[in-house]
Amino acid sequence: MEIAVAFAMVVSAAPPASAARAEPVRITRFLGEQRLPHLMRFGGTTVGGLSGIDRDPATGTWYFISDDRWRYNPARYYTGRLDINRETGEFTGVRLTGVTTLTRTDGTPYPGYGRPGSADPESIRYDPRRGVLLWGDEGDRPDSRNPAIPISPARVRLADLKGHNVGELRVPQNLLLTDTESGPRRNFGFEGLAVTPRRITAVTEGPRYEDGPVPTVERGSPARLTVWRRQSFQRGQYAYPLDPLPVAPIPPDGATDTGVSEILAIDDYRYLALERSWIQDVGYRVKLYEIDRHDATNVLDRNDLSQGAPYRPVTKRLVYDLGSFRRPVQNLESMAWGPRLASGECTLVIGSDDNFDQREATQFLAFAATGCP
């Protein structure tokens, strides 16, 4: 059931042509890395699959959402602390302090994988204006390899700090999951989420069927950013141009998975974006971009981005190639602003989802940066 919420709705008008461009985000130094143990136990749950993080700037509480779909426990988020020294920037520790089950409007947990109404949490944001959490639910749908999977709608959901569902945003018709080759592909629904005082933005991980094939070494493809304005009921949508695959899989017809794994607001029009690829017998490759939708075309009413009239996608600027950092590169899926340092730099924390796989890690990387909010 869709619940309309008064504060959440959409679209942004284009800014004035004279709008000044702010200082770009730049990584200035690496502050440290911390990890959680594989299959760590906490509060009666198994910790892993942490695919979204955020921080309450007033209390310093961090939120970590797990994409576990009842393989171990029901959909949930954790709270915790990251120890970052504001004087030196040194990142010295991470610890969990609580765990909360996410529940539906009737107070019951979301069903597990492969059941109607299951949830696939992929991102989390704390909204300090109203003291609630927003979380991206990628949903699920059947495809040719998984024909028996029922449709579970993709949503941007709202929860109070006890995990109870208190609303959700209206999803554009073109992002509704189907059981045909239309709309978002399986595992390519809402993957990243960004929040500012005036807007809420969600990004699909990859292209809809109508928007073209998935990226290859030869060419990229468009994902879609959807922007909700808090004081209206309209929506805006903008094309995000995914890169081609950085390298070919081994063998050349091997498996790949590439797309946007998270976004983070800089202001109402600019975001950081993690663009992550998994390539068979190569591993993960991740790049951090700054994207800007100032001059982008609103494509909400365009059902097909693969042909037809031209449009302007968001612009992209490479901030940092994480594919060459701390190898083997992990499955980087989460990103949040941390505390500001005495130097004036802000901190950026990027985290990984270990997929509950002992070959991967739950990792947190902290960086100092300039040009941030």
Structural domain total, the chain: 1
**Is residue 115 included in any domain, yes or no?**
yes
Q: What is the pLDDT of residue 106?
A: 96
**Is residue 14 included in any domain, yes or no?**
no
Q: What is the pLDDT of residue 20?
A: 56
**Is residue 280 included in any domain, yes or no?**
yes
| R_g of the chain computed on alpha carbons | 19
Cβ neighbour number for residue 270 with a 10 Å cutoff: 23
Q: What is the pLDDT of residue 233?
A: 62
**Is residue 3 included in any domain, yes or no?**
no
Q: Cα separation of 107 and 326, whole Å?
A: 42
Q: What tens digit of pLDDT does each residue of 115-133 get?
A: 999 999 999 999 999 999 9
Residue-range definition of the domain harbouring residue 322: 26-370
Cβ neighbour number for residue 162 with a 10 Å cutoff: 11
**Is residue 268 included in any domain, yes or no?**
yes
**Is residue 21 included in any domain, yes or no?**
no
Q: Concatenated DSSP letters for 274-291?
A: EEEEEETTTEEEEEEEEE
Q: What is the pLDDT of residue 267?
A: 97
Q: Cα separation of 19 and 30, whole Å?
A: 32
- Comparing C-alpha atoms, which of 357, 325, 354, 327 is closest to residue 29? 325
Q: What is the pLDDT of residue 366?
A: 98
Residue 158 is part of a domain; what is its CATH number?
2.120.10
**Is residue 139 included in any domain, yes or no?**
yes
User: Could you tell me how far CA 272 lies from the centroid of its own chain?
Assistant: 11
**Is residue 19 included in any domain, yes or no?**
no
Q: What is the pLDDT of residue 325?
A: 85
Q: Which residues of the chain have pLDDT under 50?
A: 1-19
